[in-house]
Amino acid sequence: MGTHVTVVEPGYFRTDFLDSSSLRQTLTQISDYAQTVGKIRDVATGRNHQQPGDPVKLAQAILHLVNTDEPPLRLPLGTDTLQGIAEKNAYVEQETAKWRTLAESTNYE
């Protein structure tokens, strides 16, 4: 039918998205969540207006994507996103190798 779908995975782009004009935080901070949402909160504060991505270049990339004949299923945008994907893929590869024997043992003989 000529319909294409792409999952766009943007990294951090230098906009106001991480400051209080866009990002809301809860008033109560629970110490039990310091290692999860607390870390994300700290990242947002530390990266605000320090994001590596240029929003003008992001818009240009999206326009390029929209005008391509064969768009990808997934499109990570930004070096930080590429790094995150590489780290995740390395972890999955390591874990898969560690558990390969057990995983392969589940087929019929």
CATH number at residue 93: 3.40.50.720
Strand bridging mode 74-77 / 7-10? parallel
Per-residue pLDDT tens digits for 21-57: 877 777 888 889 888 888 888 787 778 888 889 999 9
Residue 9 pLDDT more than 80?
yes
In a domain, 71, yes or no: yes
Does 52 reside within a domain? yes
Considering Cα of 58, then 59, then 62, then 68, what sign does the dihedral take?
negative
**pLDDT tens-digit profile of 58-102?**
999 999 999 999 999 999 999 999 999 999 999 999 999 999 999
Q: Can you tell me the distance from the alpha carbon of 107 to that of 109, in angstroms, rounded to the nearest whole number?
A: 6
The reported pLDDT for the residue numbered 17 is: 81
The domain of 52 spans 7-104
**9 phi-psi bin (left φ>0, alpha ψ -120 to 50, beta other):** beta
Handedness of CA 58, 73, 92, 41 (dihedral sign): positive
Count the domains in the chain: 1
Average pLDDT over residues 5-34: 86
